[in-house]
Every structure is written in structure tokens, then in C-alpha cells.
Structure 1
Amino acid sequence: MTTTPNPGIFASLLDPAQRADPYPLYAQIREQGPIRLGNTPVVVLSAYRDCAAVLRDRAASVERHHASIPMGPTPVHDLAGTLSSELSGTASMLFRDPPDHTRLRRLVAKAFTPTVVRGLEPRITAITDAALDRAAERGELDLVQDLAYPLPITVICELLGVPLRDEPQLRRWSTLLARALDPVSATTAGRTEATTMVRANNELHEYFEQLVRHRRTRPSNDLLSALIAAEESTDTLTHDELISTCALLLIAGHETTVNLIANTALALLRPGHRHQLADLGAAPAFTGAVIEESLRYDPPVQLVPRIARDAITLPNIDIATGDLIVMLIAAANRDPDVFTEPDRYDPARGDRHLAFGLGQHFCLGAPLARLEATVALTRFARRVHNPRLACGQIAYREHVTLRGPARLPLTFTSIAPATRPDGHAEPAL
């Protein structure tokens, strides 16, 4: 174990200059082994075996009251990424352990079963094709703004029962609240930003309060109506849990998928990988391997926090009760002890990544994210001819925890119609 009195190497994660390529920094951190930040109860893990062990360990809690220090801006950079008790979303399953987590997850899981997700494929295909049709009419395509973002936000809004006309406001709230997952420091700017995020959190919750009131009198065939029915008919869901669950599903239901689609497309558009993009269009079955490698190589979620509810012993570090544990998933996914040539993008290597987590908190929406990425990328590969990056320097979103480009403008020779010359629709994937 390394103990560092100076958390500067971790503070550099916040440096915007790291956004374009944080992986050399992750490698430096991983080479030091498990690290305790000075005399603080903050432990940073970056090796695959350590992160995997903690993700599976039931003593690793997501409930923030177990932490031995306040989980908000502190003099030590708060790598747990929370801002205040107001923003912690304690009624959300994201911050609940069993049995509450199990109860809440069971209510929502019905909307993400394999059968339900497969049934969404025609709609996902239609949304993707409509986005590419609009780009063809304009003669320009920004893969993030025109496809990677509109697709998952539309799908989760329709699944949840949120009017898509409210998307601009929802995007603003979601963008702000996604920053709440990032490490912050006790600076005036940090406190100001926290205030803005808390306001956005309150506005989003008030939005769902109004939507719930409306849906109580006019139920529909959507997840929101199903959750309202569960709240009204049983004691399995409180009103606060209902509102927090809606907010969580809206944000988590699209933020990471945007990055998954964009990060995968970017990897395939880089020199040396364009043949794999061509393969994607010719052999859709190849898409699964491409997506899994992207999840390893450039995961949408870069770090994950836990709190030690009880002591946890790892080979090179003892984690005390109350310690904050920060798992650098992006570093673990490139651990050379697990992956040969980890900095090389290779879809043939197989699926061993930690991008969706492990254990009881494994990402509930993973099947939907995989399907949305599969459809979007395969349709893109089939329909967009000769795509090229329009600029060499990619501007990334400001997030540290959630990683993906802010924009991805492309050039292309043409975008094929969604129907074949004989008038029949392209076959489903």
C-alpha cells in the first residue's frame, strides 16, 4: 500500500487538460498500488482484482451515512463525488443497500427484462433511422448531438412516460446533475456549482411531482404509471422513493449510453480501426464484441465510490469501517495483469470489463444500453458512407466520472436511405 500526504495526483484528475486522454494518469496511479490519501479515510483502488473484489463485497456499501467523514466538499478532494445531503438522493436505489435496494430494484426491473428490451428494438431502429434521415437532409452529422444523445433520451422518456417536448429542460437538469458524480474540492467555485446542482435537483423533483399528479388521474401504459400504482396499492414504494426513482431512471437511462455510443464510434473512426467499422456494417454479429471492448477500453463511467460498512481486507491494504473507497474502473479495465496490451483497442479479446459493475449493484439498464448501442452503431455503419472525423482535437464533456465527447462532427460522402431501392425497409438487426 502507498500512503500519500499529497493528493495532488488525484487532484489532477480534475484538470481539464486530462479530459482528452486520462489513461496515462490512470496508469501512474495504478502503478502505485492501493493508495490511502494522506491521513484521510479515503482509499483509492485501481487494480482490476481489487476493484472486482470490492464490487462483489457486501461490506462495500452505497449508503453514505456509513462514511466516517462528511461526503461533501472537504479540504481533501472528495473522490466520492457527492455535494451535500440534499443532493445525495438517499431515496434512490443508487444509494440504498439491501433490503431496500432489492425492493426498489425489483419494482423497476420488470421494465428491463430481456423480453421487454428486445421488444424495444423496432422503436430504437426507427429513432436511429429518423436521426440519420435528418442528418442526410442537412448534409451534416454530429454523432453526439444528432444521434448518440437523441436516441437514449427519447427511449427512456417514452419508456418512463415523460413528454419528449420537455427534453430541452430535462437535458439541462441532467447535464448539471451528472456533474454531482464528479470529484469536487472545497473552493468557492465548487460551492457555487454545488448550489446550482442542488437547485437543478429540486427543480427536477418538482417536475416529477407535477407529472405524477397528472398521471394519477390519467394513467398510461408506461413505467411511471406502473410505479404510481405500486405506490398507491402497496407499502413497497414511498412517495419520496417514487420521485427519486423517476429522476434516477431519467438521468441514468441515457447519460452513460450517450457516452457508450460516442466512445465506440470514436474508437472505430480512429486510424487503424476503420476496417472494424466496415465489418460492423457487413456483419452485425460483430457489434457485440466491439461494444464490450469499448466498455473496457474507454468506459462511460470512469470511477465508482463505495463506503466500507465493515472492515475489508485486500491483499495489499486493510480498509477500515467508514473508509471511502474510490474504484478507478477506467484504470482497472486497462490493468496489464489482466489484459494483454491493455492500451490497444481489440474487440477480439473478450468480455472481462467492469464497466457495468459486479454483484448486487450491477447496472440494471445494461441490456438496454447494449441494445441501443448495437442498433445505433450498426445503422450508422450501414448507412453513413465514408465517415471521417471533421476535426483532429475532440472536445470532451466536463465530467470526470462520466467520460465522453461533447461533440463529434463528421464528414461523409452520403447517407443511404433507410429503405432499399425496392422500397422495402432494411432488415431489423
Structure 2
Amino acid sequence: MTDTATGMPSLQALFDPAQRADPYHSYQRWRRETPIANPLDQLFVLTRHADCAAVLRDPRFGHTEPDQATPFRGQPPPVENALVDENGKPVRSFLGLNPPDHTRLRKLVSKAFTRPMVAKLAPRIEQITAELLDAAVAQPGPVDLIESLAYPLPVIVISELLDIPPADRDRFVGWSHALARGLDPDFLLPPGLREEQLRTRGEFAEYIRELAALRRTEPGDDLLSALVKVRDSEDVLTEAELIATCILLLIAGHETTVNLIGNGTLALLRDPGEYARLRDEPGLVERAVEELLRYDSPVQLSVRAALEDAEVGGVPIARGSITILLIGSANRDPDAFDRPDRLDIGREPSRHLAFGQGVHFCLGAPLARLEAQLAFRALTERAPGLRQAGEPSWKDNIVLRGLARLPVHLK
């Protein structure tokens, strides 16, 4: 579909549910015909790797204020329905902030979410993965890999990191689904979903308040206890900031990893030669995960606002304009990657944008990489003959693109 007034591909068509299973042909057309599109006033769509990377690194681009309407988000929700501080000002996680607030909060959270903490998780992740796959292999007939492995693995890991009681994990998953869907643009959400997302945020916030109060009196060695200590120390993380951070960890530590394992497995199933290659050369697993992140990125797009007048790829971007960075397209750009539509698990380490770049580079990238590496290694060991048992289905999400179901034969 093309906008006849401008001659460019339609923005609505770009996000059409019919494209969900394979948006890459559409991305290719945008890159070729309108690499920097301007479908609406003060709204730009960037499809090339160089342009997306430039915006991600450029301090002239950042995030809008929570009370600011945008062509992508529409009118913001009323303040009374949002997470607010003691002065009634909306509070967001550091992911949605600009320096210096972003710098301060990310530094605080980094104290509790360190690389040594992630590295220590490896034996437990291996154990969880083995238990999940052993249970799946024991089932007669085909199984849903999303339900059997891709969902429960990161859910258990992030739940144990935050010390979420096992009895509450189903609620935890429900909250995660609703909050992740809320990342999509307003014009693509069905009526009532934004309100549902706000209610979910409120429920999750109250749950974290109660759990944080318990950790304050009975601290453990979990991540939430560490975040509470940060809040109670001289370098303060306020209660609202603590809750916003936990919401971010819930989505970033769960939904994106689910999509990485699910999307990556499907890509390998569709290229059985590469699956066999990974099975026979387990030392390729680190490169394989980087290639799967590039090939079918769990995060398909990111949004930045021009904080001042700027220029990208020779196109002037006025202050206040919104840029949609099509990460999925950038990661298939032939100007950045040789034969980008080919899956190559031995590809040299690439400059993919799956975790972003610049000051907002994903803090949880080491954990996502570790979980995926251990999951794919275990999968090739325990299911060397893995094959599809039916067609997959996709979730409705646009920003966090992933599978709802992937039926497979494990034996």
C-alpha cells in the first residue's frame, strides 16, 4: 500500500498484522524507496543502519517528556493514572530519560545489576534449561517450544533475581504481557488496551511496594534487596524510581529474551543446515546468538525525539520531531552486512543494533546473551533432530516482536 499523496509506502501498511510473520520485505522496500520517510508532520521513519546508529549515538536525540503528545504515542494518559513522585510528576525508568537523570539512575541500578552477578547465574540457568527440556522431551508427541522453554526460562530467571515467590509467577507473566503490548504506538492498539496497561502498571507497582517493604526488613541476596539498599543508601533511588526500574526489568528481562529464544529457534528450524552446524560446532554459540539477534531482532523498533535541530542522512530533523528507528530493517541493511538476508551463525561479530547503541545500550544485554547461549547449547544437545511440527503463530506486539506458539518435535 502506498500513500498516493506522498508516493511513499503507507505507515499503516508498515505495521499491518499481515506483515507480522515477515516484515523484512516491507522494510526492504522502505529502505530502497524512502530510506528516511516523513509520513506525518514531525514524524520520520529511518530504515538504514547508518542513520539509525547515528541517532542512537547522537546526544541531540533523546526522549520526550511524559506529558508531551507525539505523533507516535498520541495524547499521554492522565497524570493520576501514571506512576508519579511525591510532587505529582510522572516517573519513568531510566530507559525513557535523558541525561543527567538517565545517567544518575542507570549508575544506581548498575551497582546492583553487575556483570559478576550475571556470570554467577550460569550454573542455575543451565540447571533450569536442562529441567525444562527434560520435561519437554518426556512428553509424547510435539510440544510448543515457547511454552516449554522460551517463556519459562527467562520468567524463572528474572523471578529468582527479584525473588518473586513461585506462586506469583503466573501473575508476573500476565503483567509482563500487558506492559510489553503497551510499548506499541497508540494508533495500533485496540480500544481499551492503553487503559488496561495503566491498570496493570498500578497493580504491579503495588505488588513491588509490598515486596520492597518486606525486603527492607528481611533483606536477601536478590536483585530487589540490592535495589532497596540503593534506595535506602546515601545515593538515593526513590520508591517511584525503584518501581519504574522493576517494571523495566520485568519487560527487558523477560519479554525480549523470550523473543530471542523463540525467533532464533524458528530461524534455525527454517535453515536446518545452520542448526546442524551449531549442533556439530557448539563453540559457535556466542556468534550464533549475535547472528540471531541481527537476523530477527526481538526489538524491532525504537523511538527518539529531536531535542534540538539536527540532520540525519542529509535530511533536516526539526527540534521536537519524532524518529522511528526500524532496528529490524537496519539489521538487514546490505550497506552494513554482507548478504544480510542469509542466516550465518559463523558470521564475524557484527555491528547489529538489537541492544541499541550509545548511552541507552541495553543494561541487560549480558543476561539475555547468557540465557540464549545456554538455551541454544542445551537445545542442540538434547534435541539434535529438532524439527517443526506445524506453523508458528505470532503475538500482536509490534515493538517487541515474537512468537506466541512454535510447535516442534524434540525427538
For the 8 Å contact 2:309–2:319, the answer to whether it is kept is yes
* Correspondences of 1:82-231 after superposition (within 5 Å): 86=81, 90-139=91-140, 140-185=142-187, 190-231=190-231
TM-score normalised by length of structure 2 = 0.91
Moved more, 159-168 or 247-256: 159-168
Moved more, 361-370 or 92-101: 92-101
Identify the residue that residue 422 of structure 1 maps to in structure 2. Answer: none
Distance in 1 of aligned mates of 2:324 and 2:255: 21
* 114 and 379 in structure 1: CA distance in 2 versus 1, 3 angstrom threshold: same
For the 8 Å contact 1:72–1:83, the answer to whether it is kept is no
For the 8 Å contact 1:3–1:36, the answer to whether it is kept is no
* 135 and 68 in structure 1: CA distance in 2 versus 1, 3 angstrom threshold: closer
* Correspondences of 1:266-277 after superposition (within 5 Å): 266-270=266-270, 273-277=271-275
Q: Which amino acid aligns with 1:316?
A: G
Q: Which amino acid aligns with 2:372?
A: A
Q: CA deviation at 1:276?
A: 2.3
Q: Which runs of 5+ in 2 are unaligned?
A: 84-89
* 314 and 14 in structure 1: CA distance in 2 versus 1, 3 angstrom threshold: closer
Q: CA deviation at 1:301?
A: 0.2
Distance in 1 of aligned mates of 2:221 and 2:120: 15
- Is it true that 1:15 corresponds to 2:13 in the alignment? no
Distance in 2 of aligned mates of 1:87 and 1:319: 30
For the 8 Å contact 1:145–1:407, the answer to whether it is kept is yes
Moved more, 199-208 or 12-21: 12-21
Identify the residue that residue 334 of structure 1 maps to in structure 2. Answer: 332
Q: CA deviation at 1:29?
A: 1.5
Identify the residue that residue 388 of structure 2 maps to in structure 1. Answer: 389
Q: Which runs of 5+ in 1 are unaligned?
A: 75-81, 414-429
For the 8 Å contact 1:281–1:379, the answer to whether it is kept is no
Moved more, 150-159 or 85-94: 85-94
Q: CA deviation at 1:281?
A: 2.9
Pick one of 396, 399, 409 that aligns with 1:398: 396
Q: CA deviation at 1:347?
A: 2.4
For the 8 Å contact 1:297–1:334, the answer to whether it is kept is yes
Two-structure CA RMSD over aligned residues (Å): 2.3
Q: CA deviation at 1:68?
A: 6.8
Q: CA deviation at 1:7?
A: 8.2
Q: CA deviation at 1:6?
A: 8.3
Distance in 2 of aligned mates of 1:148 and 1:378: 14
Distance in 2 of aligned mates of 1:232 and 1:61: 29
Moved more, 298-307 or 350-359: 350-359
Identify the residue that residue 24 of structure 1 maps to in structure 2. Answer: 25
1:190 aligned counterpart, secondary structure: coil
Q: Which amino acid aligns with 1:43?
A: F
1:295 aligned counterpart, secondary structure: helix
Q: CA deviation at 1:280?
A: 2.1
TM-score normalised by length of structure 1 = 0.87
For the 8 Å contact 1:3–1:37, the answer to whether it is kept is no
Distance in 2 of aligned mates of 1:309 and 1:400: 25
Distance in 2 of aligned mates of 1:71 and 1:20: 23
Q: Deviations over 1:370-428 (max 9, x none)?
A: 1100000100100114111011x320111111111111111132xxxxxxxxxxxxxxx
Q: How much identity, in percent, do the aligned residues show?
A: 45
Q: Which amino acid aligns with 2:11?
A: F
For the 8 Å contact 1:72–1:84, the answer to whether it is kept is no
For the 8 Å contact 2:91–2:240, the answer to whether it is kept is no
Distance in 1 of aligned mates of 2:77 and 2:402: 22
* 344 and 67 in structure 1: CA distance in 2 versus 1, 3 angstrom threshold: farther
Q: Which amino acid aligns with 1:353?
A: H
Q: CA deviation at 1:97?
A: 1.4
* Correspondences of 1:278-293 after superposition (within 5 Å): 278-293=276-291
* 3 and 338 in structure 1: CA distance in 2 versus 1, 3 angstrom threshold: farther
Q: CA deviation at 1:141?
A: 2.8
* 282 and 333 in structure 1: CA distance in 2 versus 1, 3 angstrom threshold: same
Query: How many corresponding residue pairs?
Result: 399
Q: Which amino acid aligns with 2:386?
A: P
- Is it true that 1:356 corresponds to 2:339 in the alignment? no
Q: CA deviation at 1:230?
A: 1.6
Distance in 2 of aligned mates of 1:70 and 1:411: 44
Distance in 2 of aligned mates of 1:390 and 1:175: 25
Identify the residue that residue 250 of structure 2 maps to in structure 1. Answer: 250
2:175 aligned counterpart, secondary structure: helix
Q: Deviations over 1:25-82 (max 9, x none)?
A: 11121121211123x11111111111010000011112435967476336xxxxxxx7
- Is it true that 1:53 corresponds to 2:54 in the alignment? yes
- Is it true that 1:240 corresponds to 2:240 in the alignment? yes
1:167 aligned counterpart, secondary structure: helix
For the 8 Å contact 1:66–1:322, the answer to whether it is kept is no
Q: CA deviation at 1:5?
A: 5.0
Distance in 2 of aligned mates of 1:72 and 1:83: 10
Q: CA deviation at 1:108?
A: 1.9
Q: Deviations over 1:325-373 (max 9, x none)?
A: 1100111111122222221112233212111100100001111101100
For the 8 Å contact 2:388–2:408, the answer to whether it is kept is yes
Q: CA deviation at 1:254?
A: 1.0
